[in-house]
């Protein structure tokens, strides 16, 4: 039986405040402000000095837990045009080739995460250049200062959780990479990121009612499924990894993830399993939800029925065979409750302009996967990023999956920032 999400709870300000004890929703809404503050803090820390320094032989990024997406994003954005290799490293051992010609970037909100701290300390011992982001009064900051590196503090907009302080941590790293010529992220682009995040915070705000708020709608639909998250390319793949991590850590919902084209066969194989109509254990419903974040227009929408003006959000209860639904003769007392259906959350990039043979082929594969899913009775949910530079489009996806995971946790009666089992694990491993 699928877990139940109370939609009325998602629209109750008092309940949202009570369940969200550490202000996760408020922290997520500060993402745009985090970008602007990160730009200021990076400038004050002297990150512009990187422009005058010799380009490093390689860049290694150390980040773990909720901060690990920082390394993923840097790899994603640098890969197409970086003249030097960029790679992630979660913990020691530091590769033997790292030395004075290389740059090590270490990120930790508290400045005390063992992995990044150990990597930074070993890099400093070898004479490598350091760029660190974390609390000013932390061991990580001290290691960086002793090595005469550049340390950027976390300021006032960051919260206790690195999951809600992503842009505080990521912005200085993007600025530094831009100054080194590894990627194209000038201040004008990062200001567009901040503006897009502000737009999403408005679209997905707690006061927006559940039947018109894309993140609340998606949270309710995900709760009714066994979710799998799939990105339609490298950018969607990074967003899918973020979605999987947020669903697990925030909403306590396990969600495997993948990236096309490599994950196509692995994901499609699940359509033969027990959680689809084709799998034979249930007579499933077919529902489709499309959420495009580029230009959300909620005028005229009514509960339980959504038109699709210019490709916005749409929900249908009919299936590919013209209304195939649950078995009306099924006896819940004799047959037991039906297991939840498999759900496919597809994170799609904005259409390539102009189209290329590669983009056309990728779009064709995505449509083929979605068609196969629908025919198997999988519940399909799509999120389409708006137009803009790659990091702007990524911000679209990150905003919606972060808010969705938080609303899902609250709708399930969970505090999105407090996990008793995580606390127990920390106590047992001290």
Which of 219, 203, 224 has its CA nearest to residue 340?
224
Q: How many residues does the chain have?
A: 430
Per domain, the residue ranges of the chain are 7-16+198-411, 24-185
Residue 430 — very low, low, confident or very high, per pLDDT cuts 50/70/90?
confident
Tell me the two tokens of residue 224. Answer: 């009714």
Q: Give the pLDDT of residue 155.
A: 84
Decide: 394 and 239 in contact? Cβ < 8 Å. Answer: yes
Q: Give the pLDDT of residue 335.
A: 62
Cβ within 8 Å of residue 203, ≥6 positions away: 213, 214, 293, 296
User: Would you say the CATH fold of 24-185 matches that of 7-16+198-411?
Assistant: yes
Residues 366-424 pLDDT 10s: 999 999 999 999 999 999 999 999 999 999 999 999 999 999 999 999 999 888 888 88
Record the pTM: 0.87
More confident residue, 300 or 82: 82
Q: Give the pLDDT of residue 384.
A: 96
Q: Give the pLDDT of residue 122.
A: 97
Computed over every residue of the chain, the mean pLDDT equals: 87
Angle among Cα 181, 182, 187 to the nearest 5 degrees reads 65
Weakest-pLDDT range from 240-244, 275-279, 415-419: 275-279
Q: Give the pLDDT of residue 4.
A: 77
Q: Which position has the token pair 């629908």?
A: 374
CATH number of 24-185: 3.40.50.10490
Residues 172-188 pLDDT 10s: 999 999 999 999 999 99
Looking at 250-306, list the stretches that DSSP marks H as alpha helix, in order from N- to C-terminal side: 264-269
Q: Cα separation of 69 and 207, whole Å?
A: 29
Under CATH, to which class is 7-16+198-411 assigned?
Answer: alpha beta
Q: Cα separation of 200 and 97, whole Å?
A: 42
Residue 233 predicted with pLDDT over 50: yes
Looking at 224-288, list the stretches that DSSP marks H as alpha helix, in order from N- to C-terminal side: 234-249, 264-269
Q: Which position has the token pair 């993402």?
A: 31
Weakest-pLDDT range from 64-78, 97-111, 146-160: 146-160
> Average pLDDT of 279-287?
47
DSSP sequence for 26-57: HHHHTHHHHHHHHHHHHHHTTGGGGGGSPPPS
Tell me the two tokens of residue 251. Answer: 């909403």
């Amino acid at each position: 039986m699928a877990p139940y999400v109370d939609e009325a709870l998602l629209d109750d300000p008092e309940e949202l405040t009570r369940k969200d004890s550490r202000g996760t929703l408020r922290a997520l809404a500060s993402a745009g402000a985090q970008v602007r503050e990160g730009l200021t803090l990076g400038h004050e820390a002297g990150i512009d000095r990187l422009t005058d320094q010799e380009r490093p032989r390689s860049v290694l990024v150390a980040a773990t837990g909720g901060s690990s997406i920082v390394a993923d994003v840097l790899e994603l954005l640098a890969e197409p045009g970086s003249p030097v290799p960029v790679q992630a490293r979660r913990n020691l051992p530091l590769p033997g080739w790292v030395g004075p010609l290389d740059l090590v970037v270490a990120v930790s909100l508290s400045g005390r995460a063992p992995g990044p701290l150990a990597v930074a300390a070993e890099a400093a011992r070898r004479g490598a250049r350091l760029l660190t982001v974390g609390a000013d009064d932390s061991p990580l900051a001290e290691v960086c200062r002793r090595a005469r590196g550049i340390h950027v503090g976390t300021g006032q907009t960051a919260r206790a959780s690195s999951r809600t302080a992503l842009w505080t941590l990521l912005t200085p790293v993007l600025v530094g990479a831009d100054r080194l010529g590894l990627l194209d992220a000038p201040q004008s682009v990062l200001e567009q990121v901040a503006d897009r995040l502000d737009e999403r915070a408005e679209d997905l705000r707690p006061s927006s009612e559940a039947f018109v708020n894309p993140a609340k709608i998606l949270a309710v639909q995900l709760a009714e499924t066994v979710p799998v998250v799939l990105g339609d390319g490298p950018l969607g793949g990074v967003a899918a990894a973020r979605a999987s991590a947020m669903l697990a850590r925030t909403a306590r919902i396990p969600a495997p993830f993948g990236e096309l084209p490599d994950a196509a066969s692995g994901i499609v194989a699940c359509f033969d399993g027990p959680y689809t109509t084709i799998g034979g254990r249930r007579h499933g419903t077919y529902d489709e939800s499309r959420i495009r974040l580029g230009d959300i227009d909620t005028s005229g929408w009514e509960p339980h029925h959504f038109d699709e003006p210019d490709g916005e959000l749409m929900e249908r209860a009919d299936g590919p065979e013209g209304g195939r639904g649950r078995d009306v003769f099924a006896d819940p007392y004799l047959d037991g409750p039906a297991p939840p259906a498999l759900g496919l959350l597809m994170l799609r990039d904005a259409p390539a302009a102009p189209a290329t043979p590669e983009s056309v082929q990728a779009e064709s594969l995505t449509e083929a996967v979605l068609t196969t899913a629908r025919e198997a009775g999988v519940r399909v949910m799509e999120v389409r990023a708006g137009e803009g530079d790659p990091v702007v489009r990524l911000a679209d996806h990150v905003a919606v999956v972060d808010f969705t995971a938080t609303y899902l946790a609250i709708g399930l009666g969970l505090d999105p920032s407090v996990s008793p089992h995580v606390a127990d694990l920390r106590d047992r491993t001290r």
